A and B are shown apart, each in its own frame.
Chain A
Amino acid sequence: MTPPSPALLAEGLTVAYGRTPVLEHVDLAVAGGEVVAVLGESGSGKSTLLRAFLGLVPAPGAVEARHLEIRGPAGAVDLLALGGRGWRAVRGALVGAVFQDSALALTPLRRVGSLLVEAAGQPLTLDEQAERLGACGFADPGPVLAARCWELSGGMAQRVGMALATARAPAVLVADEPTTALDGLARAEVVARLRAVAANGAALVVTTHDVATAAALADRVVVLDRGRVVESGPAREVLGSPAHARTRRLVSHAPWSLGLPPPRPVDTSGTPALAVAGLAKRFDRPVLRGVDLTVAAGEVVGVAGVSGAGKSTLVRCLVGLEQPEEGDIVAGGVDPRRQGWKALRRRVQLVPQDPRASLNPWRTAAQAVADPLRYHRAGAAGARRERAEELLEAVGLAGLGSRYPTELSTGQCQRAAIARALAVGPALVVADEPVSALDTHTQAEIVALLRQVVTDSGTAAVVVSHDLHVLERLCDRIAVLDDGRIVSDQPARSLRSQPAHSLTAALAGCYPTDPLDTLRSFA
C-alpha cells in the first residue's frame, strides 16, 4: 500500500522579488492531520511561504516551483495554474488562513456572526453559528457573535479567526504567528484549538519564531533561515538535538535557556524606591482596583498577568502618563501630589514596549539618550554628551551614538532605550514588556543586559511582562496582577514551588521550566 498522498505539497518552491530571492528551493509535504511548524527569525521568509500557499504573494513577487498543489476531497489542485478566479475558489474552501492578530486582520465594521456566515458560504441559523463558535472553545458564544472583532481580547479574536478559517473545513490550514501576540494562558488555548483542527484531519502549517510554541504544537519542524530550509524533521529530534547552527541558536538562546540568576540580597530598611497604595484607575470600567506594591531600593520586581489585567495602565500611572483617581504613588521619596508629576518623572524612568517606535526617528541614539537630561535640566550640553557616550558604552552601543533608529537593529534600539532610562540616575526604572517585540535570541541578550545594568547602577526596577521566563530571570520578586488587583506577590524563587494563588500556578504552568519537556507528551 502506498502512503497517503500529502494534503499540501511544495517542491522546489522559490519566491523572488526581482533578483532578490525570499525563498529558495523549499520542499514541504504536509499530510492531513499533521502539524508542521515553520520556525525562523524575522526576515527568514516564513510569512512569504504561507502567502505562496494562499496566492497572496504581492506584486512584483514571482512564485516558481516544480510542484505546488493542494489535495482536497475532489482531487489535487495545481496552485501554480490558478488565476484570480481560481484562487478565490480555493481560498477558504481548500486552504484557510489565520493571521497574527485577528483583531486587526478582520474587518472592524461587521459582527462576528455575519463574518461567520460569510466564511461558511451558506446561511447559518443562530444555533448553528453558536455551535461553530462553541467548537472553538467559546463557553458562551452569544455575546461573541454580536461583538465586533476589535472588541474581543487577543485570544478570543484569534479563536474567532480560527472558526472563520475552518468554516468550510479546508484540507489545509495555514497560520502566521498565531500565538505571538498572546499571553501564556490564551496561547495555550489557541495551541489546543489548532491541535484539535489537525485532529479533525486538516493539514496545518504554522509559522512561529517561538521555540516553545513550536514544541507544544508541531509534529514536525522546518527551520527556515534567509529563505532556505536548513533543518527539518520530527519536532522532538529537531528541537531536542538541533543539528544546524541556526536551530541551535534559536533553541539555546531562548530566555528559559539562560540559567536562573543567583538570589541577590535586598536591603528593605531604607526609603523604598516605590510605594504604591490603593491605586485605582477607571476608564469606561475599573481597570485598577486598589493596587498595593512596594519596591525596595535596588530591588527588581516583576508584574505578571494576562492581557487585560491592567498591566499597561499600571505602567502609565507609575510614570505619570495617567493620573490615578485614588491611591498614592511615592517614588524615590517624591510624592507627586505635593511635589508635582514632573518631580516624579525625574525619579521614575520608562523603558517602553516597542523599542523602534518609541525612539524619535529624527534623533540619533546619543541625542535620545541625552534627552531625559535635557528634560530635567541636568548638566551642560557637553556634560550631557559625555554622559550619553558613557551610557551607550555601558549598554554595548559604543561608537553607534550618531546612528538614527532606522540604522539600528531592534535589539540595539532597545539597548538605547535602556540607556536613556538610566540617564538621569532614577530611583526606579519601569520596563513595559521590554523584550516582547524582539527575536528570541535578542530577548536573552536584553534580559541579561537589563539584569546587569540595574545591578551595576543600583536602580530599582519594575518589569511588566506576560512572559514568566523573562521575569524569573530578571526579578527578585514577582507580583501577579489579575483584574486590577495584585493577587500574589512572592520571591521569584518560590513562584513555582509554592504559588500563592491559583492564577500564579496556572501562569507557571503555561511557561514550563523547560518548554521542550512538552515534546515528550506528544511522543
Chain B
Amino acid sequence: MRAGGRRRPALAGVGAAVLAAVVVAVALAPWLAPFEPSEQLVGPRLSGPSAAHWLGTDRFGRDVASRLLHGGRETLALAGAVLVVLVGGGGLAGALVAVGGRWVGAVGQRLIDLAVSVPAVLVALAFVGLRGPSLATVIGGASLVWWAPFARLSCSVVRAAMAQPSAVAARGLGAGRIELLRHEGWPRLRGPMLVLAAVEAGQLIAAIAGLSFLGFGAQPPSPEWGAMLEEGRAYLSTAPHLVYAPGSAVLLTVLALTCISEGLREGLDRQAQVVVQ
C-alpha cells in the first residue's frame, strides 16, 4: 500500500506499533513475567504498584503484571484464531453466494441477513445457558453468527466486482467461477476485508473480555483480562489498580485495532482513486 497521506496512515502506524508491542509482550509472557500467574502470596495482598510488583498484587497476593501478560495470551490467541476462521469462512461463503446461481444467491443472502440480525452476544449467552459458562462455549456460540458481517461484505464486494467490465469480458472469454473469484474478486475484496477484520477484531476482544467479566466466559483462576476485571471489581475503591491494569490492556488493544482499521480504510480509498484515475 502506498503511504501517501499524512494523518491517518501515521495513526495506523502508531496503532500497528502498539498492537505489535502488545502481541510480542504477551507472546513472550513466560520469559517476561517475573512470577507464575497463579502462584499465591508472592507478595503482600492487595498492594499497589511497587518496584517488586510493577502493577501491584491481588487479594491472593498474586502478581498482577504476570497475570496480565499470561491472561493476554489466552484472549489474543483465541481472538486471532477465531478471527482467521470467521474471515476465511465468512468471506468464502459470501463470495460463493455472490457467484452462485439465482437460488444459491437468494437463499444464501437470506441466511446472511438472518445471521447479521442476531446479536452474537445473545447467541453466546444462550449457549452458556445450555452448556454452562466457559470460554469455549462463549466463543463457539458467538462464532455461529459472527461470520455474517464478513460474508455480507464479501458478497456485496464480489457481486459488484462481477459486474465490472473486466469481469464481464473475462466471463465472455470463458473464465470459470474459480478464475473469476481469483482474478476479479479477490484483488477487490482483500482490502475491504482487512479493514473489516481490524474493526471486528477489536469488538471480538472486547466481547471476550466483557463476557468473562460477566462470569460467562473464562473462569477463575484464569487470568483472562475480563475475568481479572471481574475479580478486581470488588476492590475498586481500595485497590483500583486491579481494574485499571486489565481495563487499560483491553482499551489499548482495541484502540490500536481501531486506529489500524481507520488508517487502512483511508489508504485504500486513496488507492481506489488512483486506480480510477
Contact = CB atoms under 8 A, between A and B. Distances in A.
B164 A372 contact: no
A305 interface: no
A358 interface: yes
B185 to A, nearest CB: 11
A375 B165 contact: no
B164 A375 contact: no
Interface in A198-224: none
B166 A350 contact: no
B275 interface: yes
Contact of A359 (B166, B172, B175): B166
A362 B171 CA distance: 16
A81 to B, nearest CB: 33
Contact of A372 (B168, B174, B183, B184): B174
Interface string A404-423: 00100000000001001100
A352 B172 CA distance: 9
A147 interface: no
Given A342-B174, A345-B174, A321 B168 contact: yes
A406 B275 contact: yes
Contacts of A357: 164-166
Nearest to A417: B169
A110 interface: no
B87 to A, nearest CB: 21
Interface string B169-198: 111111110010001100100000000000
Interface in A337-375: 342, 345-346, 349-350, 352-354, 357-363, 371-372, 374-375
Contact of B165 (A319, A345, A354, A420): A354
A320 B168 CA distance: 11
Interface residues on A, range: 20 to 34
Nearest to B184: A360
Contacts of B179: 371, 374-375
Interface residues on B, range: 10 to 19
B54 to A, nearest CB: 49
A354 B168 CA distance: 11
A363 B167 CA distance: 12
A371 B175 contact: yes
A372 B166 contact: no
A358 B166 contact: yes
Contacts of A346: 174
Best-buried of B167, B170, B275 by chain A (most CB within 10 Å): B170
B143 to A, nearest CB: 32
A358 B165 contact: yes
B173 A371 contact: yes
Contacts of A376: 174
A375 B174 contact: yes
B173 A321 contact: no
B187 A362 contact: yes
Contacts of A363: 183
Interface string B92-109: 000000000000000000
A190 B107 CA distance: 48
Contacts of B170: 360, 371, 375
Contacts of A354: 165
Contacts of A372: 173-174
A358 B165 CA distance: 5
B166 A375 contact: no
B250 to A, nearest CB: 38
Contacts of A358: 165-166, 168-169
Contacts of A353: 165
Contacts of B275: 361, 406
Nearest to B173: A372
B176 A350 contact: no
Contacts of B166: 357-361
B160 to A, nearest CB: 14
A420 B164 contact: no
A275 B172 CA distance: 18
B172 A319 contact: yes
Contacts of B174: 342, 345-346, 349, 372, 375-376, 424
Contact of B169 (A320, A342, A350, A406): A350
Contacts of A420: 173
Nearest to A354: B165
B276 to A, nearest CB: 10
Nearest to B275: A361
A376 to B, nearest CB: 5
A406 B275 CA distance: 8
B173 A362 contact: no
Given A357-B165, A361-B166, A350 B175 contact: no
Contacts of A361: 166, 187, 275
B57 to A, nearest CB: 55
B172 A321 contact: yes
Nearest to B168: A321
A395 to B, nearest CB: 16
A468 B162 CA distance: 32
A352 B166 CA distance: 9
A72 to B, nearest CB: 37
A349 B165 contact: no
Contacts of A359: 166, 169
A370 to B, nearest CB: 11
Best-buried of A316, A360, A362 by chain B (most CB within 10 Å): A360
Nearest to A357: B165
Interface string A289-332: 00000000000000000000000000010011100000000000
Interface of B: 164-176, 179, 183-184, 187, 275
Given A321-B171, A375-B174, 12 more contacts: A316-B172, A319-B173, A342-B176, A346-B174, A349-B172, A350-B173, A352-B165, A352-B168, A360-B166, A371-B179, A374-B179, A406-B275
26 contacts: A316-B172, A319-B172, A319-B173, A320-B172, A321-B168, A342-B174, A349-B172, A350-B169, A350-B173, A352-B168, A353-B165, A357-B165, A358-B165, A358-B168, A359-B169, A360-B170, A360-B184, A360-B187, A361-B166, A362-B187, A363-B183, A371-B179, A372-B173, A374-B179, A375-B173, A375-B176
Nearest first, the 4 A-B pairs at minimum CB distance are A345-B174, A357-B165, A350-B172, A358-B169
